[in-house]
Homo-oligomer: A and B are copies of this chain.
Amino acid sequence: MIRIGIINVTGYAGAELARLLYNHPEASVVSVTGRSEVGKKLAEVFPHLACYDLTVAPELGSVDFVFSALPHAASAEACAPLVRAGIPLVDLSVDFRWRDAQMYAEWYKHAHPAPDLLPSAAYGLTELNREAVRSAKLVANPGCYPESVLPALAPAVKAGIISPEIIVDSKSGVSGAGRGLALNLQFGEAAESVSAYGLDGHFHWPEIVQELAAMWPPSEAPEPERPKVTFTPHLIPMTRGILSTCYAPLVPGQVPGGEAAKEAVRDLYKEAYAGEAFIRVVDTSPATKQTRGTNMCLVYPTVDVRSERLVVVSVLDNLVKGAAGQAIQNMNAMMGLPETMGLDMPAVYP
């Protein structure tokens, strides 16, 4: 059994790691840390985790594999010594996602805590970066929004059928904002309401741009400022789930005209994800509820024939495929296990 440590189990992502790993046949959570709840039994902090007999500790004990669910900066600081000690690790924060430490410094107004580790970090959207993940010791788990956006656009980008004028309109449940207290997350405020946020810039935007740029076909490599992505996240009154609606103009002549365009892009996507266990191309518009509690991402590509635009809708559970499940999938890949191990289960529906 792989002895697992979870740094900062007391947030939603940390708790979800513990939930999902409980039934993993080859891994066992043996050590958990927290910041606010040190000394408490895990069952006291999270009654749904009463199946564990663990105490929230200030530091990890002896482990074979680590997940860090700390916020940015704190996470890199906690992970760096472990990575340097050779412990394989998946970090769920933003810290090792951006390849450019300078951009990190500008965005967060402080230096990156461990820029030397960036070159060795693999971006852990397994389906799009499998080989790198398999050989990495440090994996940067994707942000929940990029996790929903990149699979929705990758096949079209790689096939060269869209031009880089991209609009991403995402809708997320409140758990994406974490377990911290905030007025706009109180039930009385969030229920029966929807709002856009991050309109002046959301920290998942650079991640989306970086990864899209890297997959853009070389022959028409985007200029420095391209792809031109506008990304607008919205807070909607539900607990789990992200739906992203992605829009881009079709490159003329790359797909058939009229209604046939729809089937053509559907086929393109189905071929791209053939054999993938956790990304499924669907034939009808999906709902987030169909992925609740599971590591599945459903992708529905179609075409607005009147405006000749690609429209792709994707859905996932932000705490699973958008965080803890994706992280375990990465661990499986890093440790030479089947990616689906411990993650193959139907959604909790309704």
Contacts and interface: CB of A to CB of B under 8 A. Distances in A.
Contacts of A196: 243, 245, 285, 300, 313
A186 B171 contact: no
Contacts of A108: none
Contacts of A236: 171, 194, 236-238
B193 A174 contact: no
A287 B193 contact: yes
A345 B186 contact: no
Contact of A350 (B165, B188, B234): B188
B185 A280 contact: no
Contacts of A210: none
A301 to B, nearest CB: 10
Interface stretch (A15-23, A65-73, A81-89, A99-107): A15-23
**How many residues of A sit at the interface, in one of the four size bands?**
35 or more
Interface in A299-325: 300, 302, 304, 306-309, 311, 313, 315
B192 A240 contact: yes
A201 B22 CA distance: 38
Given A12-B350, A171-B171, A349-B46, A239 B19 contact: no
Contacts of A171: 171, 194, 234, 236
26 contacts: A12-B350, A15-B349, A46-B349, A47-B282, A47-B286, A47-B287, A167-B167, A171-B194, A179-B183, A185-B186, A186-B186, A187-B190, A187-B191, A191-B239, A192-B239, A192-B241, A192-B288, A193-B289, A194-B241, A195-B285, A195-B286, A199-B313, A229-B307, A234-B243, A234-B245, A348-B348
